[in-house]
Amino acid sequence: MSFRSGDRFTLLTVCTGNICRSPAAERLFAAAFTMEQITVASAGTHAMVGSPISPPMAALLDDVGAPTGGFSARLLTEDQIDGADVVLAMTREHRSFVVGMVPAAVKRTFTLREFARLTTRVSSAELDEAAGPDAGAARRLGALVPRAARHRAPVQPELDDVVDPYQRAEQVYEKSFGQILPAVRTIARAALRM
């Protein structure tokens, strides 16, 4: 299976400022896929370019052992979208923004929570058959994207969107992180056969 970005599978997460939600998802995915042929990156539709991960989100990442250092927010570009095998946006609005920039990305652009939900609809046996029984996480993710897309159906926005915690109370950061972490774990489990 050949991925859009070459030999490696590329996963891009997207939010607004690229300092809270998308970097949290990026760092959680990177921690899950450390030994895999998977490149993980993030960007913002209106990025606070050059900024680090916001301190409350960094603290939550630290609590689960995900690295936070060396991060610098960046603005979403068409090239990043073109190079991604899957784009996981934090809200439906971000998903629409991505598809507005690169319409051809529609079939590989989801919200994070949507993709996690759809992942549970694709059986491990189906992934084994599509990717090969001995396939690694990159090949399994490559097989998962089109199969997850087949299960798309309208749902309430609150089931798809990750709440924006920027400049809000610590409890809102915790709620946001509490939506991101299980979604990342669901996707990683499917890719890693856990």
Q: Is the pLDDT of residue 8 over 90?
A: no
Residue 35 confidence (pLDDT): 81
Q: Is the pTM of this model over 0.85?
A: yes
In the chain, the domains with their CATH numbers are: 9-192 (3.40.50.2300)
Active-site residue, selected from the candidate residues 4, 8, 15, 185: 15
- Alpha-carbon distance of 44 to 13, in angstroms, equals 9
Active site residue 15: yes
- pLDDT classification of 1: cutoffs 50, 70, 90: very low
More confident residue, 64 or 135: 64
- 36-93, pLDDT tens digit by residue? 889 999 999 999 999 999 999 999 999 999 999 999 999 999 999 999 999 999 999 9
- pLDDT classification of 193: cutoffs 50, 70, 90: confident
Active site residue 20: no
Active-site residue, selected from the candidate residues 20, 21, 108, 139: 21
